[in-house]
Amino acid sequence: MMRCESTPTRTSAGQGVARFLPSAPRHIASLFALSTSVLLAGAINSAIADEGQLDNAIEGMDLESLLNMEVTSVSKKAQKLSDSPAAIFVITADDVRRSGATSVPEALRMVPGLDVARIDANKWAVTARGFNGRFANKLLVLVDGRTVYSPVFSGVYWETQDVLLEDLERIEVIRGPGATLWGANAVNGVINIITRHAADTTGTSLSVTAGNEERGTVSLRVGNNFAENSYGRAYLKTSKKDDAERANGDSAGDKWDMSSGGFRVDIQPSFNNNFTFQGDFYRAHIDQEVVFPSVASPYFALLNDSVESEGWNLMGHWQHVQSQDSEYNLKVYFDHNDRNESIADQSSKTFDVDFQHLLSLSQRNTLIWGLGYRYTESTISNPFSGDLDKPVRDDELLSLFAQDEIELVEEKLWLTLGAKVEKNDYTDIEIQPSARLMWAVSEKQRLWMSVSRAVRTASRAEHEFTGLITVVPPAPPFIPFPTAVTFAVDDSYDSEELLAWEGGYRLSVSNTLSLDFAIFFNDYDELRNTEAGMPFFNGTYVVQPMNFANSLSGDIMGVELAATWQARENWRWALAYSFTETDLDTRTSQDKVQHGESPRHQLSLRSQWDITESLDFDVWLRFVDDAFAVDGANTELRQMDSYVAGNARLAWRPSRSLELALVGQNLFDSRHPEYIQESFTFPTEIERGVYFKVTWQPK
């Protein structure tokens, strides 16, 4: 039994019937087409019922026939149990496409252990395993190995990470400290956004999106095999996003638009040398309504602000394989970002060099060691209040790491020991060791555990910023003057420390069902808090200085589960569940409002159904429990109520090069709040969105 090109397929037979019945009522036409398909399908199924017959037929077949057979790729869906002794989750390009997500943070919502919340149309709060916020600072985010973590405010501006999703290879998410390999700030997790090799994007891709929230996006990529062993691509993208709404239905004044572009070239002059050159640029115009504390009545100021943000980067990567036992990687990049808004104007220039050497010491012992140097010049100017001694600052970061993987028992037990030593300009030397054990219980089971230490180094803002936090209006007759609560500079402010205990269990229940559990206990020390200094009267108002301190400790524990089930060849389910319990040793009322709390329970359930080869129907349901967000202006933790959200996507491919998709986001309510920023902005709600997307990739 085989299928040759001359044999009409059932799909085309079905389409053919529909084509010849254009005037018949639609449902009758579709019914007829469907019944025909089902009947034909039955006939074919019985013809290939004897598997053994099929095998012999394939073996005996000549090459011409084999090359003419139509093939399906069921195995591509096969899951391999990860051998990584860490809580790792991989989002594939296909997962992103079928989720209907239009940005990286939206796609991250499918990962267990991550807490993703949208603050308004253009701001997100993303963290792993607790401590969420717009300025969440314990998660390291990399794009092709380039850090996009801002050294100025220690956090990620997600809105300007405008990765072209069509050229995304995968997103690797590691929850837990990844400090040994990745360095400081990989405290609670690492997100690795990996774009496709240029050889996989040789062709044109044009996509156009239009909708009520996603107002419009046009993206174009062209790729080429421009010389022998050399591939390249370039892309341009521009998008316009609608504003979100306040609880009362008013516009939140946060619409934005963004343009970006870039290129990637991959050259392999010989089999043991690979060169990659890549670069991107972006320019964003972002509206926001901000509120600042003020020492003059009415003690706050409202502003319709606009953020002008732009940047570019260039990167080179050389992979050289000396022998089967020795491989070198050298990566160099330059990254420049500018962000001007009424809160402050900030700018950074980063130059980074990383060298890695992988060495097989023996068949059962692999060593990776590396060196890194990073130079950052950052500028902070025109803050809305306060001042900086020097607007420009240079920082150097030196790092050295080594990690050794030892196979203790052949094919059964692996031990990974590693440590990273970093020298930074704020806290000098930081040592971050880890030990991990992996046990292949059976072919279908993996058990791992680890203990590691990680630190979150201070940001420039924490060391130097002296602005207003809030202003307490006078309360006559007892307090006739306003009180200005301000940050005070304190050079003794130190790194936050984590000792993390983790474990995990992976089980391949069957070829179609796999489970991945992780459990963690994170013990934090030297956490950031603020302590009140001595108040003084400056003639017009009382100044209450607040010093950053490290006198908070506590722990966060949690459990995470990821399950995938290939219910049928054409129907796949994916579930993610996270439990997070935050328990900080707060002693003062100030301590209680320092850090947010991630939801105790989060659930994500995705269904990917290939109705036919050319028709997909995907549903994504999410439950997010109550969360607590830091409300800096009111010095309180604000409860963000639990919510249920649903996305749906229907996509049709009339030909191999064209896809039409209709996507609904946040379908269950007209709008709901998810999170608030720590300061400066007003609570905003996220609206229901519907968009239509056309993707054309001529083959």
Partner 1 sequence: MTDWRSYFLAIALLVLGAQSVWAEGVEEYRVKSALVLNFARFTDWPAGALGGEDTPFNVCVMGEAHLAKDFEFLEGKHIGARPVVVIVDASLEQSIACQVIFVAGADREKLPRLFSAIYGRPILTIGEMSTFTDSGGMVNLVNVNGRLKFIVDLQNLHASKMNMSARLLKLAYAVKSG
Q: Quote the CA–CA distance of 312 and 551 in Å, as a whole number.
A: 39
Q: Give the residue with the Cβ less far from partner 1, 23 or 323.
A: 323
12 touching partner 1, by CB under 8 A: no
Nearest distance from C-beta of residue 325 to partner 1, angstroms: 8
- Which residue in 6, 23, 73, 589 binds partner 1 (CB under 8 A)? 73
Nearest distance from C-beta of residue 180 to partner 1, angstroms: 19
Stretch 17-36 residues interacting with partner 1 (CB under 8 A): 27-28, 30-31, 34-35
Span interacting with partner 1, options 58-66, 83-91, 103-111, 113-121, rule CB under 8 A: 58-66
* Ramachandran quadrant class, 411 (left: phi over 0; alpha: psi -120 to 50; beta: rest): left
444 touching partner 1, by CB under 8 A: no
Dihedral angle computed from the Cα positions of residues 90, 94, 95 and 98, in that order, rounded to the nearest 10 degrees: 170
Span interacting with partner 1, options 129-137, 491-499, 611-619, 676-684, rule CB under 8 A: 611-619
340 touching partner 1, by CB under 8 A: no
59 touching partner 1, by CB under 8 A: yes
Whether cis (ω within 30° of 0) applies to the bond prior to 477 is yes
Say if residues 263 and 316 touch (Cβ distance below 8 Å).
no
Nearest distance from C-beta of residue 93 to partner 1, angstroms: 12
Nearest distance from C-beta of residue 28 to partner 1, angstroms: 7
Angle subtended at Cα 41 by Cα 37 and Cα 46, rounded to the nearest 5 degrees: 160
Nearest distance from C-beta of residue 394 to partner 1, angstroms: 35
The single-letter code of the amino acid at 383 is: P
Q: Give the residue with the Cβ less far from partner 1, 73 or 492.
A: 73
Token representation of residue 85: 């002794």
Exposure pattern of 151-168 as b/e (b: 16+ CB <10 Å)? bbbbbbbbbbbbbbbbbb
Strand partners for 161: none
- Which residue in 58, 353, 400, 479 binds partner 1 (CB under 8 A)? 58
CA distances from 374 to 399, 433, 453, 460 (A): 9, 21, 22, 15
Say if residues 533 and 525 touch (Cβ distance below 8 Å).
no
User: Residue 320: CB partners within 8 Å, gap ≥ 6?
Assistant: 272, 273, 274, 327, 328, 329, 330
Q: Quote the CA–CA distance of 197 and 233 in Å, as a whole number.
A: 9
Q: Quote the CA–CA distance of 692 and 602 in Å, as a whole number.
A: 28
Nearest distance from C-beta of residue 651 to partner 1, angstroms: 16
Q: Give the residue with the Cβ less far from partner 1, 444 or 463.
A: 444
Angle subtended at Cα 441 by Cα 364 and Cα 513, rounded to the nearest 5 degrees: 120
Angle subtended at Cα 666 by Cα 660 and Cα 670, rounded to the nearest 5 degrees: 115
Stretch 206-235 residues interacting with partner 1 (CB under 8 A): 229, 231
Q: Give the residue with the Cβ less far from partner 1, 55 or 250.
A: 55
Q: Give the residue with the Cβ less far from partner 1, 268 or 466.
A: 268
Say if residues 99 and 107 touch (Cβ distance below 8 Å).
yes
- Which residue in 13, 16, 20, 42 binds partner 1 (CB under 8 A)? 42
6 touching partner 1, by CB under 8 A: no
Q: Quote the CA–CA distance of 557 and 199 in Å, as a whole number.
A: 43
Site string for partner 1, 310-329 (x = CB under 8 A): ---------x-xxxxx-x--
Span interacting with partner 1, options 61-69, 152-160, 245-253, 308-316, rule CB under 8 A: 61-69
Distance, CA of 421 to chain centre: 26
Please provide residue 601's backbone torsions phi and psi, each rounded to the nearest 5 degrees. Answer: -125, 140
Nearest distance from C-beta of residue 494 to partner 1, angstroms: 38
Strand partners for 309: 284, 339
Stretch 639-668 residues interacting with partner 1 (CB under 8 A): 656
Nearest distance from C-beta of residue 168 to partner 1, angstroms: 14
638 touching partner 1, by CB under 8 A: no
Stretch 180-209 residues interacting with partner 1 (CB under 8 A): 197, 199-200, 202
Stretch 423-442 residues interacting with partner 1 (CB under 8 A): none
Dihedral angle computed from the Cα positions of residues 184, 189, 193 and 194, in that order, rounded to the nearest 10 degrees: 80
Chain position carrying tokens 């010491």: 361
50 touching partner 1, by CB under 8 A: no
- Which residue in 37, 238, 251, 427 binds partner 1 (CB under 8 A)? 37
509 touching partner 1, by CB under 8 A: no
Span interacting with partner 1, options 107-115, 271-279, 376-384, 518-526, rule CB under 8 A: 271-279
- Which residue in 22, 23, 63, 589 binds partner 1 (CB under 8 A)? 63
* Ramachandran quadrant class, 386 (left: phi over 0; alpha: psi -120 to 50; beta: rest): left
Stretch 539-568 residues interacting with partner 1 (CB under 8 A): 568
- Which residue in 204, 224, 268, 564 binds partner 1 (CB under 8 A)? 268
Site string for partner 1, 571-610 (x = CB under 8 A): x-------------------------------------xx
